[in-house]
Structure 1
């Protein structure tokens, strides 16, 4: 499996709701200098987002995606690297 497929597999797990992210209660939203908040987007509006990530530990990512995707693995379905 290539790095792109591994990353897509991991993202699919996250999108499927198997893992969730909740900010810490004391986290505050801060905007970079010069940015302006326009408020929340209309829930009916379709947004397109692009993320660029530096690839690192691609071999480890591949192993992790394989482990959580293989029904015979004890890590099957797990969403955190423990």
Structure 2
């Protein structure tokens, strides 16, 4: 799925404003993809939001079923 030995053989992409729908709707600011597999999310915050608050929100999001489903479906759909 990912060629770790030859990184240049992979297809890299970045998408902004990805909306994930489920019970609740979540908008991901930036999603990093390798070969169509979502590998990371970058959450950007206003300067008025503390770093600790941003980290806390990101950690909480990772525990939510919607967030987990997004990454599992992305991996399942790519192969």
TMscore range, shorter length: under 0.3
Asked which structure has the greater CA Rg, the reply is: 1
Q: Which has the higher helix share?
A: 2
TM-score (normalizing by structure 1): 0.25
TM-score (normalizing by structure 2): 0.25
Q: Which has the higher contact order (CA 8 A, sep 6+)?
A: 1
Q: Which has the higher strand share?
A: 2
